[in-house]
Amino acid sequence: MDGYALITGASQGLGRELALQLASRGMNTVLAALPGENLADVCGRCRDCGTRSECFELDLTDRGQLTDFVSEVNSKYELSVLVNNAGTGGSRKFDEVPLAYIDTIMKLNVLATTLLTRGLLPNLRRNVPSRILNISSLAALIPTGYKTVYPASKAYVKHFSLGMREELGRFGISVSLALLGPMPTKQEIRERIARQGLLGRMLSVSPAEAARACIEGMLGGKRIIVPGGMNRLSYGLLKLVPEPLKSKLMSRSVLRNEIGA
């Protein structure tokens, strides 16, 4: 393939798997991640697949860096795929977190996703049919205490993605939304899944499996992608449970298993 796929948060976890699996399918890649996260290694492995790959180390929460990145990508690379994967969150008490913690979640999960999509849209429109994959979470479906602004930020990604799908489809741009469950990536996440016991293990999906489902769904033009059989079952069940009940149950679970109170 002559076009490029741009993947944010590509140095580890799901982003790394998305980059490697797209490269294994013959797609060139533009990879972005924070400095000091061995992004060059991922880039090298993509090139080992016989594809072109370029890496950019930057902080997407910095408006100046993000703007410069968009300008450079638009001037040098023809994009046919955009994967907004970079995101952050955690389990904390709202009144105990520093404002910088909240600011980072909102800037990365909400603002960076929005600004990258807007800035790279002319590029994607030049190379239709093209695709956008936005990574959200099943947490977007459940207002949850003790997760600060994370569920709200992922709910934004959900509504933004589905709205853009309706708006951009007529231009030949397919937008897909991925709703992810627990994924054992960082050590703190693995520990959190372990504390959730059997349920956490049943819902857990490896980054490789999730990436495969996301790529196949994106290339197939799916509207919503939910990797993992148990997560798809949960997605269906969550539609049936009244919001106050699922909100209360999930908030209690986070308090007990993740906050430890």
How many angstroms separate the CA atoms of 165 and 217, rounded? 14
- Tell me which DSSP letter residue 171 carries: G
Residue 38: left if φ>0, alpha if ψ -120 to 50, beta else—which one? left
* Tokens 């995101």 belong to residue: 87
CB 126 within 8 A of CB 78: yes
CB 39 within 8 A of CB 10: yes
- CA-based diameter of the chain, in Å? 53
CB 9 within 8 A of CB 33: yes
Residues 6 or more apart from 172 whose CB is under 8 A from it? 125, 128, 129, 130
Active site residue 77: no
With 0-12 / 13-18 / 19 or more C-beta atoms within 10 angstroms meaning exposed / middle / buried, residue 115 is middle
Three-class SS state of 78: coil
Q: Which of 4, 77, 146, 150 is catalytic?
A: 150
User: Where are the alpha helices (H) located in 9-82, listed in sequence order?
Assistant: 13-24, 39-47, 63-76
* Tokens 């400095």 belong to residue: 35
Q: Which residues are catalytic?
A: 150
